[in-house]
Amino acid sequence: MLSPAKINLGLEIPYKRPDGFHEIRSVFLRLNWGDDIQIEPISPGSFELVSNNQIILEKRRLYDEVSEKGDLSKNILFKTFSKIRAHYRELPGVRIYLTKRIPPAAGLGGGSANAASLFSFYFGLGPEFHSDHIFKLAAEIGADVPFFLSENHCLVSGKGEILRDIQVHPGQGILALTPQILSTAEMYAGLKKPLQADPPSKRWISLDNDVEFSLKEGNWAALREKLVNDFEPLAFQKFPELGKLKESFLANGASYSSLTGSGSCIYGLVQGLEIREELFAKMQTEFPDLTFVSFNY
């Protein structure tokens, strides 16, 4: 089954919370592109991972280091298995076949999507899947994991665990799989947000009416100045070529373009399949060393 990537439409980091996490507000879109994952039960307590690493060459080693070829104890799937088994020892072990396409350090949520797939395997057919306990366990694995347990696009707030389903007009885009590596911890540290308890998370659960309307209508051009990613200035300062990539997406026909998450991938959204085909060709010509992927959402 597909373990999908996500992109962020805007990413505000209004403040650092007393618990040490950062408050976020972002729209998460699920893509129809990502990893392929198959999970089968084996003897209790056993965990096996069989990987087919198809990540772009520059980042392939990052996954190998935490796969069965490296230190498996650092792999998010193994951590998820261990967390679930600590609470549900009666569950079977797993053998996981993973075709890995979503690169690490990309802002696409690949590891979180994989973790959610394992939660779905264990609990997807039972009433516990939508319980607060399961979502709490998921959030302990990673801030983005609860989103991937949902089947919808969401407005995400809190530290990533507060979700509200939103309507987004179906559309198309192109994703640039960039080789640059941006440390999430370093990116958050670079924001230097003050530690404060207010405003409370509830303030960040709503969107402006015109933003919600533009999302429903698929009017991406109207969102260029209204949905911003707070990490872009940091990312573009460190890697100016990422800023150039965003500018080229817009100059070549994208209605909206942005860094996703804390980076380093850049995407462009378009108004139709023909425009996407033209944009894809132009971007490949201008950036022949980069890998581009078409997606729907």
The binding site consists of: 103-113
Mean pLDDT computed over 271-277: 94
Which of these ranges, 34-43, 175-184, 200-209, 259-268, has the smallest mean pLDDT? 200-209
Alpha-carbon Rg for the chain in angstroms = 19
Which of these ranges, 31-40, 104-113, 184-193, has the smallest mean pLDDT? 184-193
28 phi and psi angles, rounded to 5 deg: -100, 125
Beta bridge partners of 154: 28, 165
Q: Scan for tokens 């109207």, then name that residue.
A: 222
Mean pLDDT computed over 87-113: 96
Neighbouring C-alpha atoms within 13 Å toward the C-beta of 229:
28
Q: What angle do CA 283, 292, 235 make, to 5 degrees?
A: 85
CB distance 96 to 80 below 8 Å: no
CA distance 36 to 33: 9
Confidence at residue 191, expressed as pLDDT on a 0 to 100 scale: 86
Mean pLDDT computed over 46-64: 97
Residues annotated catalytic, as ranges:
6, 144
Confidence at residue 203, expressed as pLDDT on a 0 to 100 scale: 47
pLDDT at 87 over 90: yes
CA distance 79 to 207: 34
- What confidence category does residue 20 fall into, taking pLDDT thresholds of 50, 70 and 90? confident
Q: What angle do CA 233, 239, 244 make, to 5 degrees?
A: 80
**Which comes out higher in pLDDT, residue 221 or 195?**
221
Confidence at residue 262, expressed as pLDDT on a 0 to 100 scale: 94
Domains, the chain, ordered by start: 2-165 (3.30.230.10), 172-296 (3.30.70.890)
Confidence at residue 145, expressed as pLDDT on a 0 to 100 scale: 96
- The edge-to-edge listing of strands for the beta sheet with 266-270 is 256-259, 266-270, 172-177, 291-296
CA distance 234 to 240: 10
- What confidence category does residue 201 fall into, taking pLDDT thresholds of 50, 70 and 90? very low
- pTM to 2 decimal places: 0.93
**Which comes out higher in pLDDT, residue 205 or 123?**
123
CA distance 173 to 24: 24
What average pLDDT is seen over the chain?
Answer: 92
pLDDT at 227 over 90: yes
Going by C-alpha positions, the residue among 55, 100, 31, 65 that lies closest to residue 291 is 55
Helix (H) or strand (E) holding 119: helix 110-123
For the chain, give the percent of residues with pLDDT over 70: 94
The binding site for ATP consists of: 103-113
Confidence at residue 36, expressed as pLDDT on a 0 to 100 scale: 98
